[in-house]
Structure 1
Amino acid sequence: MSRILDTARERTPGNNTTPVVEAPPLGLDIVARSAEIDDRQMCIDRLARLRRELAQRDYAGALLSDPLNIRYATGSRNMPVWTMHAPGRYVFVATDGPVVLFEFGSSMRVTPDLPVVDEVRQSTSWFYFMAGPRVHEKTEQWAADVIDLMNQHGGSNRRLAIDRCEPWGAQLLVDAGIRLFDAQEPVEQARRIKTPDEIKCLQLSVDVSDIGIDRMRRALRPGISENQLYSILHETNIAHDGEWIECRLLTSGPRTNPWFQESSNRLIEPGDIVAFDTDMVGPFGYLADVSRSWVCPGRKPTPEQRKLYEIAQDQVLTNIDLLKPGLSFREFAERCWPVPEEYVPNRYMMMIHGAGMVDEYPNVAYVADWEESGFDGIFDENMVVCVESFIDEVGGKEGIKLEEQVLITSGGAVRMSSSPLEGALEV
């Protein structure tokens, strides 16, 4: 994993000395904080969790192409955003056998030595951008490698978990007698409980996010655009060895309702509500998912803005207080803060979702939505979840978006962000 240097060295022309140029302060010492995380042990622990889930379902192994699943299983990071739409790298994880990582030939040399990867091979790219009219030929080459690994390490077990696969590739595996199952279930269940080092990663990402949020708050003024303001979070993330932002969710004024509009070139005006969701994949590839709503300086909050904020804040804090190990999703849904009737049509689509490398299992539905989309489960210690709220009426002038990322401990849920929530509208 790359590291940001504390200093940069610059050679002065005509001078044999090498003066030390101090790097600008980042807000936290990312090198020191990263050193506190045992990346090697984290890789070992994650793979062990995944293999337990595969074994419980009697799968001979898993074939993973989703870059987040590859990262979880191997610790390998290589062009994750690009490979989300160009799946040219993949990994075969034998339940009882080797981990074989297939990399682009041009990037095999940059893949670091990884404690859980037994072999790195050149991948076969069988998507059209790389294969063109030779897709069928390349698909057969890809399938032959997978079939060979299953024959070597699956024995009589022909059950393979797979996450992403075009149907013509899947058909070749089925024709070879391999039974295919959804890999996302065992992967998500493995990711549900965080290892000690994963918790450190998540806290580090939230701490970086808090620095970005503070910088955004200080920069907020009339005349700045939504895009300019949101770019501060991106800059902060990259400067701290973070990776990407999942969504462009920062809006202002009338664009805050309905939620899920993306940031724009709109200039923020005095007294506008400014609402955002970080959706930030930070250092080590872990998520910081925090939402805040503010009022742009130049005009005091209106009574209606205060009212909406207090309602959203009450929802988030009440629901956080309910969380504890052993509580079922259904019990939580039945006991949670009741959304006032006038705000139900525009409410956030879920109350809680898991957090890890990105949004993860579970997605906890409202009781009203239970028949259509709800499912039960149990909150456990060392789960990390995000508690959501969006409050405004359909057609309302502005809305309030709040969200907290919390760690579930033996004593209940602990908020991970230090960014002010209570009373933040008035700051």
Structure 2
Amino acid sequence: MFENKKKYLTSTPDQPLRNPVTPEVLRTARGYRLQRVRQQLLAADCAAILLYDPVNIRYATDTSNMQVWTLHNYARYALVFAEGPVVLFEFHNCEHLHEGNELLDQIRPAINWSYFGAGSRIGEKALAWADDIRAVLHRHAGDKARLAVDRADLEGLDLLREQGLCLVEGHSLMEEARKIKSAEELELMRWTIAVCERGIQRMHDELRPGMTENQLWAWLHYENVRHGGEWIETRLLASGPRTNPWMQESSDRVMQEGELVCFDTDLIGPYGYCADISRAWTVGHVAPSAEQRKFYRLAHEQVQHNMDLLRPGLSHREFVERAWPIPEPYWHNRYCCVVHGVGLADEYPALAHRGADWESSGYDGVFEENMVLCVESYIGERGGAQGVKLEQQVLLTANGCVPLSNYPWEEDWLV
């Protein structure tokens, strides 16, 4: 098993992978994504969208600046017109970061009116911000334009309305734009997945009894960063008794031989794309116990069954009704969703399980060709000593779904 896994590497562990993405692929992906946003705006009769979510800004403009920091510091934003310019409002003295980006028609200084940036001058700065947004919108779309907004503080929304603007909820527009991938986007995503799989392989090869969970998890970060990746959205790696229930984050726990170790990559890699893959091993790569083997086999069965169901034209409701029936002992600890979309991050849709879950939070829709999805499973009994988390990232084609991740399963655990 160990020797077979080592053959998965396409180069030696200390030699970085070669980036296969060409400038033309990146340019084409950029143009496609901007066009997707504009199509959604036109369909919603909106003149423009104001973007604050850094992932949405990345999707529409392919600009990146302090992505995690700007998730909680509202220091940069963009205004994208349906039939007009792309205007980026950038953080102090950062215009030079975007030289050569052909999508941008204008870069203006952002007005930060959060308490961190404005302190006691919030009111003054917020008014200046609203005046600036109204002026740019008026210049390119007139007085009666409808403006979509993906996220904003209440005070900001009120100020924009006081300026006479008609505001539209814009987060859903961006999710709809992002859900269908182009061929060039898939090239970018495959590169991120290759980087992620290099990190998974490195974790596999470095895993040994006596190391901590954090020491193991660091190898995924290492491979991601050295290949130009950006960040990892969660810290979901657990071993031994911490594998049940799921959602426990990587810690300084020392791992012992024979224990299960499970992880969920949630990796934002090169060009901002997400690789969301889960695997499970034993510490020391020793043979699994009967219970470990059973949990792994059930989790793998759930993933494969649900992958086999997916096809374009299938409704969300029908898929959930036909999804793998989780045995009663494992129902309480079920994963939060059956399947979810993925692109620059986890995306629409996220489908609830059947029954009470569907009644409380399920929503219908239709799967479409060129959606990218993650098929989920967690198997572990309530109050149990261990559990298995598995997940596969797939592309939905005209003939069903195909895996985008080629990292091998533990095939000898399935017999």
Query: Paired residue for 1:153?
Result: 140
Question: Is 1:119 aligned to residue 81 of structure 2?
Answer: no
Q: CA shift at 1:135, angstroms?
A: 1.0
Query: Paired residue for 2:367?
Result: 379
Query: Paired residue for 1:278?
Result: 265
Do the aligned partners of residues 200 and 424 (structure 1) sit closer, same or farther apart at CA in structure 2, a change above 3 Å counting?
farther
Deviations 1:282-334 (A, max 9, x none): 11100000000111127531111111110000000111111111111111111
Query: Paired residue for 1:20?
Result: none
Give the alignment partner of residue 292 of structure 1, picking from 264, 279, 298: 279
Deviations 1:335-373 (A, max 9, x none): 111100111110001000000000000111112111111
The answer to whether the 8 Å contact 1:59/1:157 transfers is: no
The answer to whether the 8 Å contact 2:296/2:414 transfers is: no
Give the alignment partner of residue 358 of structure 2, picking from 358, 370, 375: 370
Query: Paired residue for 1:327?
Result: 314
Q: How does 1:173-188 map to 2 (within 5 A)?
A: 173-188=160-175
Query: Paired residue for 2:195?
Result: 208
Q: CA shift at 1:96, angstroms?
A: 1.5
Give the distance between the partners of 2:168 and 2:41, measured in 1 at CA.
11
Give the distance between the partners of 2:104 and 2:52, measured in 1 at CA.
15
Give the alignment partner of residue 48 of structure 1, picking from 13, 35, 40: 35
Give the distance between the partners of 1:277 and 1:115, measured in 2 at CA.
35
Give the distance between the partners of 2:298 and 2:349, measured in 1 at CA.
25
Gaps of 5+ in 2: 1-11
Give the distance between the partners of 1:111 and 1:356, measured in 2 at CA.
22
With the length of structure 1 as denominator, give the TM-score of the two structures.
0.91
Higher mean alpha-carbon deviation, 385-394 vs 413-422, is at 413-422
Give the distance between the partners of 2:285 and 2:60, measured in 1 at CA.
50
Query: Paired residue for 2:115?
Result: 128
**Residue 349 of structure 2 aligns to a residue in which SS?**
strand
Give the distance between the partners of 1:400 and 1:41, measured in 2 at CA.
40
**Residue 346 of structure 1 aligns to a residue in which SS?**
coil
**Residue 106 of structure 1 aligns to a residue in which SS?**
coil
Q: CA shift at 1:422, angstroms?
A: 4.5
Give the alignment partner of residue 347 of structure 2, picking from 360, 363, 367: 360
Give the distance between the partners of 1:37 and 1:371, measured in 2 at CA.
46
Q: CA shift at 1:196, angstroms?
A: 1.2
Deviations 1:260-302 (A, max 9, x none): 1110000100111000000000111000000001111275311
Q: How does 1:64-75 map to 2 (within 5 A)?
A: 64-75=51-62
Q: CA shift at 1:129, angstroms?
A: 1.1
Q: Quick one: which amino acid aligns to residue 363 of structure 1?
A: A
Query: Paired residue for 2:72?
Result: 85
Q: CA shift at 1:425, angstroms?
A: 4.9
Give the distance between the partners of 1:173 and 1:113, measured in 2 at CA.
32
Do the aligned partners of residues 46 and 298 (structure 1) sit closer, same or farther apart at CA in structure 2, a change above 3 Å counting?
closer
The answer to whether the 8 Å contact 1:294/1:424 transfers is: no
With the length of structure 2 as denominator, give the TM-score of the two structures.
0.94
Query: Paired residue for 2:249?
Result: 262
Query: Paired residue for 1:240?
Result: 227
Query: Paired residue for 1:420?
Result: 408
Query: Paired residue for 2:18?
Result: 29
Q: CA RMSD of the aligned region, Å? A: 1.7
Identity %: 48
Q: Number of aligned pairs?
A: 403
Give the distance between the partners of 1:25 and 1:390, measured in 2 at CA.
33
Q: Quick one: which amino acid aligns to residue 115 of structure 2?
A: Y
**Residue 405 of structure 2 aligns to a residue in which SS?**
coil
Give the distance between the partners of 1:181 and 1:43, measured in 2 at CA.
25
Query: Paired residue for 1:222?
Result: 209
Query: Paired residue for 1:59?
Result: 46
Do the aligned partners of residues 412 and 36 (structure 1) sit closer, same or farther apart at CA in structure 2, a change above 3 Å counting?
farther
The answer to whether the 8 Å contact 1:37/1:200 transfers is: no
Higher mean alpha-carbon deviation, 202-211 vs 400-409, is at 202-211
Q: CA shift at 1:154, angstroms?
A: 2.5
The answer to whether the 8 Å contact 1:44/1:115 transfers is: no
Q: Quick one: which amino acid aligns to residue 158 of structure 2?
A: Q
Question: Is 1:103 aligned to residue 112 of structure 2?
Answer: no
The answer to whether the 8 Å contact 1:313/1:422 transfers is: no
Q: Quick one: which amino acid aligns to residue 192 of structure 1?
A: K
Question: Is 1:402 aligned to residue 402 of structure 2?
Answer: no
Q: CA shift at 1:43, angstroms?
A: 1.2
Q: Quick one: which amino acid aligns to residue 372 of structure 1?
A: S
